[in-house]
Amino acid sequence: MIAYILRRIISVAPIALGVLLVTFLLFRVIGGNPAYRIAGKNATPAKIAQISHARGYDLPYFLNFEKFPQQLFHAQFPRLARNILRGDFGESLTSKMRVSQLLRDGVLPSLCVTTPLFFIELILAVALALLAAYYRDTWIDRSLVVLAVMAMSISSLVYIMVAQYWLASEWRLFPVWGFEGPQYLILPVLIGTVAGTGGTLRFYRTVMLDEMYQDYVRTARAKGVSPAKILFSHVLRNALIPILTNVIVALPFLYTGSLLLESFFGIPGLGRLLVSAISNGDEDVIFAETFIGAVLFVLANTLTDIAYTWADPRIRIK
Amino acid sequence: MNDASTNRPESLWAIAWQQLRRKQIAMICLAILVAYAGIWLYAEGNFWSAKLRGVTPNYRISNYAIRNQPPSATHWLGTNYAGRDNVSQIVQGTRIAFEIALLTSCIVIPIGFALGALAGFFGRKIDTGIVYLYSVVGSVPGILLITAISYVVRGAVERSPAMQTVTRYADSGLLAVCIGMGFTGWVGLCRLIRAEYLKHRERQYVLAARAIGVRPAAIMFRHIAPNVAHLIIINFSLSFPGLILTEAVLSYLGVGIANEPSWGAIINDAKQRLWLGNWWELAGATAAMFFLVLALNLFGDALRDALDPKLRTAETKTA
Amino acid sequence: MSVLRWLTIAVMAATFAGASASGAQLRDNTLYSVGADFKGFDPADSGDTVSAAMISRVYEGLLEYAYLDHPYRAEPRLAEALPEVSADGLTYTFHLKKGVHFSDDLCFPSGKGREVTAEDFVYSFTRILNPKLESTGDWIFINHVAGAKEWVQAGNLTVKIPGFVAVDRYTLQIKLRQPYPQLIWVLTMPYAFVVPHEAIEYYGREFRRHPVGTGPYVLKDWRFNYRVEFVKNPTFSGQTYPATGELDDRAAGLLEDAGKPLPLLDRIVDYEISEFYTVWQMFLGGQLASTGISKDYFEKVINPQFELSDALQKRGVRLYKTPNMDLWYIAFNMKDPTIGDSTDPAVAAKHRKLRQAFASAIDVPTYCTVIHNNRDTPANTILPPGVAGYTTKPYAYQFDRQRAKKLIAEAGYPNGKDATGHPLRLTMISAGAGSTDARQQAEFFAEQLRAIGVDLVVQQLSFAEYLRREHDGEAQIVYAGWIIDYPDGQNFMQLLYGPNKAPGVNFCNYQNPEFDRLYEKVLTMQDCPERSALYAQMSDIAIADCPWALMTYSLSYGLFQPWFQNYKPHAFPYPNAKFYKVKPH
């Protein structure tokens, strides 16, 4: 078991490296030399060359054959990978601040929105899914499903615009923008819940219905166990594994934050940071956020696999 | 359904259709989808007839004298900033939505299917390689990858002389968005197909075909493929709504369609005038988007229930 | 500054500043304002207007613009008086004010701010030339100050630049390679502000977050990408509100505070809001006391007579209009094989006709009224009004579709069709991907060109990508803008000077020997009618060659709540927050 866990954790590394390679290809190789951006509007060719040299943008992308063999890895990508593995995420091209500092500053605001959102959504979705499963194939179940699908069918942009305009600006129920206190979080969390619960609810309902048709449920029903008891002590318990899986896989998104909610409501989190990094072509920030996001995502997936194996002995370890 | 060749077992599709027909919601959704498809074809006709004649299509002709008008008998949803009728903009938005879905699928389906089939059928190193590839693509935050690819593709398309003819007929932003979504979207389909091929690889009919020396390519495509083809349909109908919603977000991030009235672009325009009480533009585009996405979601669900044997067995148990 | 239209809104808001509606916040005399994309407190990196405004709250330089005076003039700030200039125009001598201290900060051994000396200026000026710093402001000195270029090339940072000399504790000399009349102006720019070496040594990389200056405010709190808060610098002294201004200023109430010590506000809070939609809602809700006006809001805010709509007038909201002293233009790449210059005179003439056809095809007056809701006026010369050298001579390629059709036929594209019978395809880049304004603008240009049969493709790029494409000199056509850096026509003419070609500022690669000769001539001339005439002549040369299609000069519209006082529009408003006042209401 421990060997398996170790093997799985080691397998995260090549994937993380692959993710870094993809981002590097997209932004540096095709996106071009960032020295133009740094040099500013009065740039001279000499200045661009100087900046390229100082920052290593003039090196080969992958392998440096001119310096073979001693400095074969004296090239852009190996340098980037080495720095990131060392935990050195470089500095922002626009604000010249350490990326690690920007990430540290952004985590808390992001978590302030995503954590309550996550728990409210989870509790609401599970509760409604239980309700739907209990009243399956009645109008309650059907209208819950249709409502969930309807909520999923509206663009989150529209939710945000409408809520920000009417609820905050017109009716003054909430602050329009800012991150000054808990009341500033209510509207983003509310919008996130409305926009996100539908999909989760639908998923959990399917999971629970799948369990409802299992043999053990039939047996329990045959033995005269009350429907409520079946639902809570049998079905819910068995549905916990897929629910838990879903929860763990969602955890990395707590960290990355919400792009749209943060940029509309002025929450200085990692989502807002990423949106402005994309529009400013701020590479090091993009590299760092993508890399960390991907590593967390892969780790979470690995964790679910491990949890599965541990929780369900029927799943064999290959 | 009562075909003359009665001793042939009914096909999966026929059974599925019978199932679907019994579901009222599914049929309503299908009717809505047919209506949208009609609007789409009309919009295509409108667009291409103008394009081929080399004139400006009527939905793009601006009339600055009647800008930002409220709804009226001539303009049911008012006019936009350039005095163009909002209804015609939304109709063209339908065309864009369908074009996005189809073009993206043209990328997703071949890649997802081919890679999934190869990985599942051959296993070993090929499998490891493909699984690695999709783990990597699947681990990059989706919207970031789409944004990056779209930026890059749009730049490349617009700069390359070879693409000049293509961009005469198709919006480069549209191509970029589709390629961006295509190259990120194949992962889900690839996973599904791979899993199916893994299963089918061990089935009797495949082993039999192998024993009589059928070439692997023929087994993969002629023998197994028809048995997993329904997954493509399910995947398409369930990912279509996602593509439409993603396009709206991409428009907000500035990588959406540049020169055509996509729903995302209309919504982002409408935002500017919301405070003037000009809600009809937003409402119109949102409604158009809502009904299509809703119908697709519900119909996709029904289709999956009808086509996916696993869920169907679950249902027969209750019967 | 080549900052783009959508940024101007944010910029205006940032410089106009705002105030809060809530009484509690007003009792402590606070101003609430808006900015976006603030990059940090390093004067060496103050190229964008938002950073320039923020940095100017904390740091100061030798000179600044007189707040109320027009035409603009520089007045001493940390200098005792305007510099003594040697007869050959090559040596400027500044006497510093005595007793000016940096604000108290941990970086000083005692925690108490040290007195500013001439050495600090030598240090600060040398600093922005240091290649390691990658400052965007090195251009203000590098080609002008004696020994600066050589110092940068040699790369030995321990030696001194011969052009910056601290004669004694309070006397600073700047020695030039050749006369540089713009020196007075560039010394008002944040690039030339004074920083204490202690802060840079103490904070290192973190210097950008810990500004230590002599200015009217000190930084209290900065949350990146969200808000910046300043409080009055307790050790700031020696500046009072101006006692004289222009004729109308007294009537406008701008002289009520004459003689009062600055700054008038105790606290300033800047929020980083990028969506105008949000800014506007906060303004209406009274959370901000000033805002710019974006295009789509214009119609309801401003009535057809360009006055404020009744609803806002009733609330006492005031409207300010100011020309921005900028130029928006479409630049043609002169190296491009289709539209550029050529060594073959016949080909060159045809291509010039094509450029002229392009310029005459665009209905700029309609563009101003419809696309920009009259926030712009059509441009007629390379220099905007207000800059010496501007003339009212009509533009040579005013909108005339028939003429455009004729020109394009003469250029070899009858009805806009090329040799293959397809419409001629041209590609233009513009910034502002994702902005509604930029998209509508692009559609307008494409529509105008379609009317003469040309297929114009407009690529809307992110600002970063746009800068790169602009400077790599490969883009065929560029929609560009230039906001003035200092009130001197040279600032615009450099954009067309041959040796400045891409990746320099002349990214359209225009080259005309006569133009270059005149440019080199005016470069060393002080402001005089003769120089203005030369600017006008240069403008005519460039218009005849048509490397640019001139579009517009823009106007800023700003709205102010009634309690926001002492505001006067200024083209270089960065340090002006110290003059503003909020009245209790």
Q: Mutate which of A110, A154, A155, A299 to test chain B, going by most B C-beta atoms within 10 A?
A: A155
Q: Which residue of B has its CA nearest to C456?
A: B168
CB-based contact A22 B136, cutoff 8 Å = yes
Nearest-Cα distance to chain C for B193, in Å, is: 37
The pLDDT of residue C25 is: 43
Q: Mutate which of C427, C445, C457 to test chain B, going by most B C-beta atoms within 10 A?
A: C457
Lookup: tokens for C198: 């202690």
A93 found inside a domain = no
Lookup: tokens for C507: 């990214």
A4 found inside a domain = no
Helices A270-280 and A99-134: crossing angle, nearest 10°?
A: 120
- Calculate the dihedral angle through the C-alpha atoms of A255, A258, A263, A268, rounding to the nearest 10 degrees: -20
A36 interfaces chain C, CB cutoff of 8 Å: yes
Q: Which residues pair with C272 in a beta bridge?
A: C35
Residues of chain C with C-beta less than 8 angstroms from the C-beta of B56: 447, 450
Nearest-Cα distance to chain B for C398, in Å, is: 21
Q: Are C189 and C72 in contact (CB under 8 A)?
A: no
Nearest-Cα distance to chain C for A89, in Å, is: 14
Report the alpha-carbon distance of residue A95 to residue A106 in Å, rounded. 15
Residues of chain A with C-beta less than 8 angstroms from the C-beta of B149: 26
Q: Strands, DSSP E only, in C302-414?
A: 318-323, 326-332, 376-378
Query: Does domain B22-51+74-318 sit in CATH 1.10.10.10?
Result: no
CB-based contact C459 B265, cutoff 8 Å = no
Residue C275 CB coordination number (10 Å): 18
Report the alpha-carbon distance of residue C326 to residue C492 in Å, rounded. 9
Q: Mutate which of B259, B266, B278 to test chain C, going by most C C-beta atoms within 10 A?
A: B259
The pLDDT of residue B9 is: 64
Report the alpha-carbon distance of residue A164 to residue B34 in Å, rounded. 35
CB-based contact B286 A154, cutoff 8 Å = yes
Enclosing H/E stretch for C95: strand C91-95
C209 interfaces chain A, CB cutoff of 8 Å: yes
A5 found inside a domain = no
Residue C390 CA: distances (Å) to CA of C395, C507, C531 = 12, 23, 11
Q: Count the domains in chain A.
A: 2
Report the alpha-carbon distance of residue C14 to residue C37 in Å, rounded. 11
CB-based contact A96 C274, cutoff 8 Å = no
**What are the backbone angles phi and psi of residue C401, rounded to the nearest 5°?**
-65, -35
pLDDT tens digits, C233-258: 999 988 999 998 888 888 888 999 99
Residues of chain B with C-beta less than 8 angstroms from the C-beta of A14: 132
Lookup: tokens for B317: 């148990």
C223 interfaces chain A, CB cutoff of 8 Å: yes
With H, G, I as helix, E, B as strand and everything else as coil, classify residue C523: helix
Q: Which of residues 276-315 of C touch A (CB under 8 A)?
A: 278, 281-282, 284-285, 287
C458 interfaces chain B, CB cutoff of 8 Å: yes
A144 and A121 housed in the same domain: yes
Chain centroid, CA B115 distance in Å: 19
Contacts of B63 (CB under 8 A, 6+ apart): B79, B82, B83, B84
A106 and A248 housed in the same domain: yes
Q: Are A9 and B126 in contact (CB under 8 A)?
A: no
CB-based contact B314 A152, cutoff 8 Å = no
CB-based contact A22 B275, cutoff 8 Å = no
Residues of chain C with C-beta less than 8 angstroms from the C-beta of A51: 134
Residues of chain C scoring pLDDT < 70: 1-28, 294-300, 303-306, 433-434, 464
Closest CA to B117 of B15, B20, B210, B223: B223
Tell me which amino acid residue C128 is: I
With H, G, I as helix, E, B as strand and everything else as coil, classify residue C547: coil
A122 and A58 housed in the same domain: no
**What are the backbone angles phi and psi of residue C482, rounded to the nearest 5°?**
-135, 120
Q: Which residue of C has its CA nearest to A175?
A: C282
Report the alpha-carbon distance of residue C290 to residue C284 in Å, rounded. 10
The pLDDT of residue A211 is: 82
- Select the residue of B158, B254, B275 nearest C427 (Cβ to Cβ): B158
Boundary-marking domain end, from A68, A88, A108: A88
Assembly ipTM: 0.86
Q: Are C115 and C153 in contact (CB under 8 A)?
A: no
Residues of chain A with C-beta less than 8 angstroms from the C-beta of C209: 97
Q: Are B16 and B306 in contact (CB under 8 A)?
A: yes
A74 and A180 housed in the same domain: no
CB-based contact C273 A177, cutoff 8 Å = yes
- Select the residue of C40, C47, C462 nearest A41 (Cβ to Cβ): C47
- Select the residue of B141, B151, B274 nearest A165 (Cβ to Cβ): B274
Residues of chain B scoring pLDDT < 70: 1-9, 158-159, 258, 309-319
Residues of chain C with C-beta less than 8 angstroms from the C-beta of A165: 281
CB-based contact B137 A297, cutoff 8 Å = no
Nearest-Cα distance to chain C for A45, in Å, is: 6
Report the alpha-carbon distance of residue C282 to residue C287 in Å, rounded. 5
Q: Are C276 and A264 in contact (CB under 8 A)?
A: no
Nearest-Cα distance to chain C for A36, in Å, is: 6
- The pTM assigned to this predicted structure is 0.85
Q: Which residue of A has its CA nearest to C285?
A: A169
Residue C538 CA: distances (Å) to CA of A22, B271, C497, C530 = 50, 44, 10, 12
Report the alpha-carbon distance of residue A51 to residue C188 in Å, rounded. 27
Residues of chain A with C-beta less than 8 angstroms from the C-beta of B294: 149-150, 153
Q: Which residue of C has its CA nearest to B57?
A: C447
Nearest-Cα distance to chain B for C576, in Å, is: 31
Lookup: tokens for B287: 């409604």
Report the alpha-carbon distance of residue B250 to residue C433 in Å, rounded. 11
Report the alpha-carbon distance of residue C456 to residue C444 in Å, rounded. 10
Lookup: tokens for C237: 């002294």
Q: Give counts: helices (H), strands (E), chain A.
A: 15, 0
Report the alpha-carbon distance of residue C42 to residue C54 in Å, rounded. 10
Residues of chain C with C-beta less than 8 angstroms from the C-beta of A177: 271, 273, 278, 281-282
CB-based contact C434 B252, cutoff 8 Å = yes
Q: What is the residue-wise DSSP string for A207-249?
A: HHHHHHTSHHHHHHHHTT--HHHIIIIIIHHHHHHHHHHHHHH
pLDDT in tens, chain A (318 residues): 788 888 878 888 888 889 999 888 887 776 667 787 777 766 777 788 888 888 888 888 888 888 777 788 888 899 899 998 888 998 888 888 889 989 998 999 999 999 999 999 999 999 999 999 888 888 999 899 889 999 999 999 999 989 988 888 888 888 888 888 888 999 999 999 999 898 889 888 888 888 887 888 888 888 888 888 888 888 888 888 788 888 888 888 887 778 889 988 989 999 999 888 877 778 889 889 888 888 888 888 888 877 777 766 555 544
Q: Which of residues 426-465 of C touch A (CB under 8 A)?
A: 433-434, 462-465
**What are the backbone angles phi and psi of residue C166, rounded to the nearest 5°?**
-90, 100
**What are the backbone angles phi and psi of residue A315, rounded to the nearest 5°?**
-80, 120
Closest CA to C264 of C228, C289, C240, C235: C240
The pLDDT of residue C304 is: 60
CB-based contact A41 C505, cutoff 8 Å = yes
A65 and A162 housed in the same domain: no
Report the alpha-carbon distance of residue C16 to residue C38 in Å, rounded. 16
Could you list the residue range(s) of the whole structural domain that residue A82 is in? 33-88
- Calculate the dihedral angle through the C-alpha atoms of B78, B84, B88, B89, rounding to the nearest 10 degrees: -100
C181 interfaces chain B, CB cutoff of 8 Å: no
A180 and A71 housed in the same domain: no
The pLDDT of residue B148 is: 80
The pLDDT of residue C10 is: 37
Closest CA to A41 of C283, C140, B228, C407: C140
**What are the backbone angles phi and psi of residue C292, rounded to the nearest 5°?**
-80, 180
The pLDDT of residue C418 is: 87
Report the alpha-carbon distance of residue B213 to residue C283 in Å, rounded. 77
Closest CA to C443 of B147, B295, A129, B64: B64
Chain centroid, CA A221 distance in Å: 40
Set out the domains of chain C in order of their start, with CATH numbers: 12-41+207-322+558-582 (3.40.190.10), 60-201 (3.90.76.10), 326-553 (3.10.105.10)
Lookup: tokens for C172: 């600073």
CB-based contact C504 A44, cutoff 8 Å = yes
- Select the residue of A18, A161, A169 nearest B282 (Cβ to Cβ): A161
Q: Strands, DSSP E only, in C177-300?
A: 217-223, 227-232, 267-272, 290-292
A208 found inside a domain = yes
Chain centroid, CA B117 distance in Å: 21
Report the alpha-carbon distance of residue C565 to residue C583 in Å, rounded. 7
Report the alpha-carbon distance of residue B19 to residue B312 in Å, rounded. 10
Residues of chain B with C-beta less than 8 angstroms from the C-beta of C373: none
A132 and A198 housed in the same domain: yes
A186 and A43 housed in the same domain: no
A153 interfaces chain B, CB cutoff of 8 Å: yes
Closest CA to A196 of A148, A129, A239: A148
- Select the residue of C457, C461, C462 nearest B167 (Cβ to Cβ): C457
With H, G, I as helix, E, B as strand and everything else as coil, classify residue C32: strand
CB-based contact C465 B151, cutoff 8 Å = yes
Domain borders along chain B are: 22-51+74-318
Nearest-Cα distance to chain B for C296, in Å, is: 6
Q: What is the residue-wise DSSP string for C387-413?
A: STT---PPPTT-S-HHHHHHHHHHTT-
Closest CA to A56 of A75, A30, A83: A75
Q: Are C383 and C535 in contact (CB under 8 A)?
A: yes
Report the alpha-carbon distance of residue C347 to residue C345 in Å, rounded. 5
- Select the residue of C277, C433, C460 nearest B272 (Cβ to Cβ): C277
